Amino acid sequence: MGEQLPVVSLFSGAGGLDLAVERADAEPLVSGDPGGGLLRVSVATDYNEPALQTLKANFHDAATLTGDIRQVFTEQILDAAGLCAEEPVLLVGGPPCTPFSKSGFWLEQKRESRDPNASLLDEYVRIVRESRPEAFILENVQGLTYKTHKAQFERLLRGLGELGYNPQWKVLLAADYGVPQLRRRVFVVGRRDGEKFEFPEPTHSGWSERDRRIDATKIPHVTAAQAFADLPRLVPASLDEIVDGQYGELAAEIPPGQNYLWHTERYDGRNQFEWRSRYWTFLLRLDPNRPSTTLQAQPGPWVGPFHWENVLTSSGEERARRLRVNEMLRLMSFPDDFKISGTRSDVQRQLGNAVPLELGKAVVRALMDQLGYLDRRQAVRDVVFA
């Protein structure tokens, strides 16, 4: 297998970027392919213990470090990994996205970009400065690039640029890289040698809420139905899967791909809501013929996406149902055997905050290719098997 290249992971969460790192040289969209072991996560850090339990269950060789990154010295992180400054090939991580997420905009401090957790971006820059990795990858929600957070985003780019890393950024749509989910995330990538990073070209195409142009030369977007095709059908549904209560009947009547707007005067439902009076995800049902909308990390009881099929309650009433863990794993392009610690809500929170595997792989693979490591690995394999 050859020597594995060390990676430091910050704000690791459920390990979406970590998984992408360790499978970077695996074939795209080949289920269960772990890759050839080009990269290895040497240390993973997070403040959330359930998330670290998930990491320990799936990354047996990685050291883990629990704590608030603002109180953790870079030397502690490197020591846990058995590394010195300049030895990490990659530093990866996604600072918690809550300060920059649209879902928090009802709070004045977030509309005005005053969330104290936003300072975690500065901590990321600090650790890059003190550990001097060969390259870094930072991931976050698209909201980080909005005008509201312009000062923070520009400070981040300026700080990384002053270190000589020539940071490049781009918002990528997960579905364009084979993930069955219309999830947009910003990636910031930089190289210690100052060379410009080129983002990977999309492999898939399809229409989204912002782009109705389809590139016929690319593979069609993976649909939710395709993602779920070979999953077992469990009957009956468990109680925590059933969408019941105040809006239970209304949710069950909404067709696939529609949301609460079905029950306004403009559609054929019951005219229970005012037009555009709720968030888009309210009572949202999956469309089996399209990728899923973004999987929510902390949904309320009426926040979708819910499955497009109804289930029967014990009294024989039809109800919508929430997504199952194996379905959420598929929507994130995670392997079926990925283990996640905690309750169902813990699972959804961890997956909803994670980087979809195939999206992360595309970025990591492009970076390793441009750094020359994939060519070197292939050359070694050619010599070994010659």
Domain edges within the chain: 5-220+343-384, 235-323
CA distance 362 to 368: 10
155 burial level (CB within 10 Å; 0-12, 13-18, 19+)? middle
Whole-model pTM? 0.91
Q: What is the pLDDT of residue 2?
A: 61
Q: Name the CATH architecture for the domain at 5-220+343-384.
A: 3-Layer(aba) Sandwich (3.40)
Q: Which pLDDT score is estimated for 51? A: 84
Q: Residue 60 contacts by C-beta under 8 Å, 6 or more apart in sequence?
A: none
Whether residue 116 has a cis bond before it, omega within 30° of 0 = no
3-class SS of residue 64:
strand
Cα–chain-centroid distance for residue 157? 21
Helices 357-370 and 373-384 sit at what angle, rounded to 10 degrees?
80
Q: State the pLDDT at residue 329.
A: 96
In the chain, the amino acid numbered 321 is R
The pLDDT value given to residue 262: 98
Averaged in consecutive runs of 10 residues, what is the pLDDT profile of the chain (386 residues)?
Answer: 87 94 92 89 90 89 92 96 98 78 44 56 97 98 92 95 98 98 97 98 91 91 97 84 96 98 96 95 97 92 96 94 95 95 84 96 98 74 43
Using an 8 Å Cβ cutoff, are 139 and 124 in contact?
no
Which SS3 state, helix, strand or coil, does residue 365 take? helix
What is the DSSP secondary structure assignment for residue 285, as one 8-state letter? B
**Active-site residue numbers?**
97
